[in-house]
Amino acid sequence: MAEVEDTLKRIQSINGVIGTIVVNAEGIPIRSTLDNSTSVQYAGLLHQLTMKARGTVRDIDPQNDLSFLRIRSKKHEIMVSTGGL
């Protein structure tokens, strides 16, 4: 489907974006602009962190849900957007 590819291309072409990974509900990457091993590593680690963050948000307020997670490190920033808008 061209629309999916277009959307991903639009996101990837923004200034400063190094890579984009789309991850399914089990934490397995389904589309990525990085190589296989890197994608799998990032997906696995971020899935766990996202689940933890989501749990934290919902423990504080059960009506709330995680919408965006940003991790800023010295060298890069990782932005995670979940489906729970």
Partner 1 sequence: MFTDETLDIIGAESTWRKSHQQTQESRSCQTLPVDTAEVETQARDVSDNSTQTQDQISQTLSLDRDISDFPGLLDFLHKVEDIVIKELVKNSKSHAFDGFRVNWEDQTESVSCMYRLQHVEAQERGLQVTGVSWNCTGSVIGCGFGRVDDGDWSNEKAYVCTWNLDRQNLNPKRPDVIIDVPTPVMCLCFHPVRPSVVAGGLYSGEVVVWDTSRSQDLILAQTGMSADTHREPVFQVSWVPGARRGEFMVLSAGSGGRVLLWTVDGAEAKLILSSGYALVQQQVPQCGAASRTRGSTTIGVTSVALSPWDLDTFLVGSEGGLVLKCSFSSETVSAVPPDGESVTLRAPVQFSFSPLGGPVHSVHFSPFHRNLFVSVGTDGLAHLHTVLQPRPLLSLRVSDSYVFGVRWSPTRPLVFAAATGQGLVQMFDLGRRSLRPAATVDQNTSGQPTYCLEFNPKHTNLMAVGNADGSVNIWQLSAELTEQGAKETAVLEQLANEVVD
Residue 31 near partner 1 by CB under 8 A: yes
Q: In sequence order, what are the residues at sequence separation of 6 or more whose Cβ sits closer than 8 angstroms to the Cβ of residue 33?
A: 8, 12, 19, 20, 21
Instruction: Report strand pairing: 29-32 vs 77-81.
Output: unpaired
Closest contact distance (angstroms) between CB of 36 and partner 1 is 4
36 or 59: CB nearest partner 1: 36
Closest contact distance (angstroms) between CB of 4 and partner 1 is 5
Interacting residue with partner 1 among 19, 22, 53, 78 (CB under 8 A)? 22
Closest contact distance (angstroms) between CB of 48 and partner 1 is 15
Given a contact cutoff of 8 angstroms between Cβ atoms, the answer to whether 72 and 14 are in contact is no
Query: Which of 30, 28, 31 shows the shortest CA–CA distance to 11?
Result: 31
Residue 64 near partner 1 by CB under 8 A: no
